[in-house]
Structure 1
Amino acid sequence: MENTTVETMMDFDVPARDLWEAITNPSHFKKWYFHIPHFTTTVGESFDFYESEARKYLHHCTVLEFEKGKKFVHAWEHPNQSKGSSILTWIVEPIDELHSRLILRHEGLDSFSDAGSNFTPESYQMGWDAIIKTSLRNYLYLIEKLHFSININATKERVWEILWDEESYKIWTKPFGEGLSYNGDLKQNGRIHFLSTDRTGMYSDVVFFKENELVVFKHIGEISNFQEQELNESSKHWTGCFEIYRLMEINATMTELEVEIDVTNDHIEYMKKKFPLGLEKVKELSEQ
C-alpha cells in the first residue's frame, strides 16, 4: 500500500519557544486545537480524544518520539472507523529570535482507506491547513472568533435581501461608519470589496455561498485608493480570517440570523459593541 503523506508548513511571528508551548501545552492548545484530557509527551504512553462534544470520531495516539522544543511524533489512529495507523510529526524550527516555523507531516494516510470519504488524504490536507493556518495562527496572533445572533420576524429571503441589497447594506452597517458599501460577485468563488468612503477597505473571497442560507467570506487583504494591496506586516496577521452569515428558519415567519467573525485583539471590544447594533438594524428593516 502506498504511504500517502500530507504536509502543512507555516512561518509565525513568534519565538520558537512560544510556538512550542502552543502545540504541546494543553492549557494552550485546548483553545485552538482539541481538548485532550490525558495528554502526554512520554514516549510509549498513549492519549485519546474526540474532535468535538459530539464524540463521533475517537482518536487514539501513542507517543513515538519527543525532543523538547523541536520535535513531537505520535501515532494517529481511528479505532472505531479503521484498522489503519498513521504517524503525525510536529517540528518547530527557529528562524530568528522573534520568528519560527512549524512543519506538520502526516504519513500513512492510505491505511485509512477502509474508513470512508471523510478520511482521504485530501480531507486531511484541508483539515490540517485550516487548523494550522487559521486556528493556530489566530491563537498566536490574539485573533478571537466572536458570535452574534438575533431572531427576526421575517422570512429567510427577506432577511437575506436586507443584508445584501446595496441600499439596505449601507443602512444596517451605519454603526460601523457612514457610507459603507461593497461591490463584486456575491457568489461561490466570487471576490468582494468592502469599502469605506475614504477609498480604503478590505478584499475578500466568497468561499461558500448558498443563497438565502449561508455565505462565508475569507478576508484576504487591504484596499487603498480602491486598489487591492499586497500583504503587509499588519494584514499578513489576519489574512485568511473568516466572516460567516447563517440564516436558519425557526418557522414560516421567523428567522434566526447568526454571525461568526474572526476579530483581531485591538478590535474585539469595538465589534462587541457595534455588531449587535448592526443586527438590530437588520431586524428593524426586515420586519418593516
Structure 2
Amino acid sequence: MNEPLVFERVYDATPAEIWNALTDPEQMRQWYFDIPGFRAEPGFEFSFIGGDETTKFTHLCRVTEAVPNQKLAYTWRYAGYPGDSLVSFELFDLGGGQTKLRLTHSGLETITPHHEGFKRENFREGWTYFSEKALPQFLAK
C-alpha cells in the first residue's frame, strides 16, 4: 500500500502556538521527542532515538520545508536501513483560536519491508498517539 498516512485534527490553539510546539526544542521534548538544538530551517539535519520498550532505532531526519505557522516537513529514515520517507505538518488557521493540523507521513513503502518494527500499523499507532493524545494534552497546559 503506497498511500500516505494522513491525520487531521482541529485544536483549540493558534497556528503560532502549534508551530512553537512543533519547532521549539523545549516544547518538543514535553510531548514529542527530545531533539536538542532543533531548528526549523531547510537543510537542518537532526537525529533522535525512538521505538518501543524492546527495540530502539536512530531516526535520521533533514528539514525540507519550514514556513512559520504554516508548514514543517522533514525526511524520516532509520540508521542502518534503506528507505526514505517524508513527514509534514500543515497548519490551517480556522479563526477564533482554532487551528487544523494535517499530519502526513508519505513514502512508508520504502521503509516498511526492512524491519518488523516498521509496520505501517506501528506508524499509524504512533502518529495517532502524538496527534490525538500527546499534543492536545501539551497544548491544554
In the superposition, the TM-score normalised over structure 2's length comes to 0.90
Deviation at 1:97, TM superposition (A): 3.2
Q: Counterpart in 2 of 1:15?
A: 14
Aligned partner of 2:114 in structure 1 is 115
Partner of 1:45: 44
Note closer, same or farther for the CA distance 1:113–1:14 as it changes in structure 2 (3 Å cut): closer
1:131 & 1:34 partners in 2: Cα distance? 10
Residue pair 1:38, 1:48 contacting (<8 A) in 2 also: no
Instruction: Give the SS at the match of 1:69.
Output: coil
CA distance in 2 between counterparts of 1:45 and 1:20 reads: 17
Which residue does 1:103 correspond to in 2?
Answer: 102
Runs of 4+ displaced beyond 6 Å: none
Q: Deviations over 1:85-112 (max 9, x none)?
A: 0000111111113111111000000111
Contact 2:31–2:134 (CA<8 Å) still a contact in 1? yes
- Structure 2 equivalent of residue 28 of structure 1: 27
User: Which sections of structure 2, spanning at least 5 residues, go unmatched?
Assistant: none
- The count of aligned residue pairs is 139
Spell out, residue by residue over 1:45-70, the C-alpha distance to the aligned partner (whole angstroms, 9 max, x if none): 21111127x88210000111111110
Query: Residue 90 of structure 1 aligns to which amino acid in structure 2?
Result: F
Contact persistence 1:70–1:91 (CA under 8 A): yes
The correspondence of residues 75-90 of structure 1 with structure 2, limited to 5 A, is 75-80=75-80, 82-90=81-89
Match in the other structure for 1:140:
139
Look up the equivalent residue of 1:5 and give its one-letter code: P
Identity, in percent, stands at 25
Per the alignment, residue 72 of structure 2 pairs with 72
Q: Distance in 2 between matches of 1:15 and 1:42?
A: 21
Identify the residue that residue 62 of structure 1 maps to in structure 2.
62
- The alpha-carbon deviation at position 113 of structure 1 amounts to 3.0
Decide which structure has the larger Cα Rg and report it.
Answer: 1
Residue 127 of structure 2 corresponds to: 128
Aligned pairs for 1:1-288 within 5 A: 3-51=2-50, 56-80=56-80, 82-142=81-141
Deviations 1:231-256 (A, max 9, x none): xxxxxxxxxxxxxxxxxxxxxxxxxx
Unaligned residue ranges in structure 1 (runs of 5+): 143-288
What is the Cα deviation at residue 41 of structure 1?
1.6
- Larger RCO (CA within 8 A; separation ≥ 6): 2
How many angstroms does 1:114 deviate by? 3.3
Distance 2:96 2:5 in 1: 28
Provide, for residues 215-269 of structure 1, a one-character-per-residue CA deviation record: whole Å limited to 9, x for no partner.
Answer: xxxxxxxxxxxxxxxxxxxxxxxxxxxxxxxxxxxxxxxxxxxxxxxxxxxxxxx
Give 2:36's aligned amino acid: P
What's the RMSD between the two structures over aligned residues? 1.7
CA apart distance, 1:72: 0.6
